[in-house]
Amino acid sequence: MKRKDLVDIEQLKEIAETSDKTQVIFKHSVACPISSMMLKRFEKGLSEIDTSDVEYYYLDIFSYRHISNEIEKKFNVRHESPQLLVINKGEVNTHASHSDIAAEMVTA
């Protein structure tokens, strides 16, 4: 599955309105070794499961913190990093941070 970079607040509207596929946002801090480790583990896990009904967005919070702030407001989920949000029909179904992040969450 190809990840899409989340670089524009307008993409959040797309994510919230798309209901035919699960929408996943991985919030990553490029300055944090824990975040890098979790990103690698998450993406490796994605390669091992069926993600045909999943759209995957990657957010570099170092460069786009304003988008992370908007995610917090729009989806009412406190910012953390690394953080995974799984969104269906405009609502966050589940979210996790740090070592609780698992690829299997996208299909649950």
Region 33-50 average pLDDT: 94
> Is the Cβ–Cβ distance between 58 and 26 less than 8 Å?
yes
Q: How far is CA 91 from the centre of its chain?
A: 13
Domains and CATH numbers, the chain: 3-107 (3.40.30.10)
Question: pTM of the predicted model, to two decimals?
Answer: 0.94
Question: Rounded mean pLDDT of 16-40?
Answer: 91
Residue 75, amino acid? F
The reported pLDDT for the residue numbered 5 is 97
63 backbone dihedrals φ, ψ, rounded to 5°: -90, -25
Mean residue pLDDT of the chain comes to 93
In 3D, which of 8, 3, 7, 40 has the Cα closest to residue 24?
A: 3
- Where would I find the beta strands (DSSP E) of the chain? 3-5, 22-28, 54-60, 83-88, 91-97
The reported pLDDT for the residue numbered 96 is 97
Query: Looking at the predicted structure, is the pLDDT value of residue 89 above 90?
Result: no
Report how far apart, in Å, the C-alpha atoms of 25 and of each of 11, 16, 107 are.
11, 11, 14
pLDDT of 19 strictly over 70: no
